[in-house]
Chain A
């Protein structure tokens, strides 16, 4: 049980680190946003799954799973809304500019 928990926590931390790296290193707004929206969601979900597993079948682990479900629904939705708002106010994707260059 401890080994599985540690594996989940390590995997979660790995994805969270990749998300941070993406925010720091990716070239444009939408690419950075997709690092947060995908990698960070998976990282947090894995960490919460590890915590729930470590707690065993208790009320606390059920609460943790509800938090995970809430995060699973809201983080991608927020990312989606932010990306739409950015597109609406005219933030251009890097690829769109690259395509127009001959």
Chain B
């Protein structure tokens, strides 16, 4: 079990910065199709914020914030969002990953495509954040000599 870091400076700075890191992760996800960034990068930043919590505030604090089972479910949910959004095309008689089928009243053509990309990016971000956090949790547990979880 990773214990809380014994330096009050590290704990305070991490406590202060984590919300801003997570906000920046959301910015990277939602600004991904206008500027550098996107689902994977935003997901990695989000996962890094949780790993930072585990390293500085202790594994118990991370477990208090997110349950490992929930992280596993979220990782799978991200993949599911990606797959379902991509499969909408063939189901509705368009090519795979053609988001123009997402056309709603007032949202069509390129706008529908942008909407589809955004949904895909959100799915990727959730999947990547969940998977990376879970990899860290499992590796940390395996490194403690507890064997495979």
- Write the residues of chain A forming the contact surface with B, with a CB cutoff of 8 angstroms: 70, 73-74, 77, 80-81, 84
Chain B's interface size range is under 10
Q: Is the CB of A80 within 8 A of B17?
A: no
- Render B11-37 as a binary contact track against A, CB cut-off 8 A, 1 for contact: 001001100100000000000000000
- Write the residues of chain B forming the contact surface with A, with a CB cutoff of 8 angstroms: 5-7, 9-10, 13, 16-17, 20
Report the number of A-B residue pairs with Cβ-Cβ less than 8 Å.
18
Q: Is the CB of B16 within 8 A of A73?
A: yes
In the assembled complex, the CB of A14 is this many whole angstroms from the nearest CB of chain B, namely 27
CB contacts (< 8 Å) of B9 on chain A: these are 77, 80
Q: Is the CB of B10 within 8 A of A80?
A: yes
CB contacts (< 8 Å) of B7 on chain A: these are 80-81, 84
Bound form: Cα–Cα A85–B7 in Å: 10
In the assembled complex, the CB of B29 is this many whole angstroms from the nearest CB of chain A, namely 17
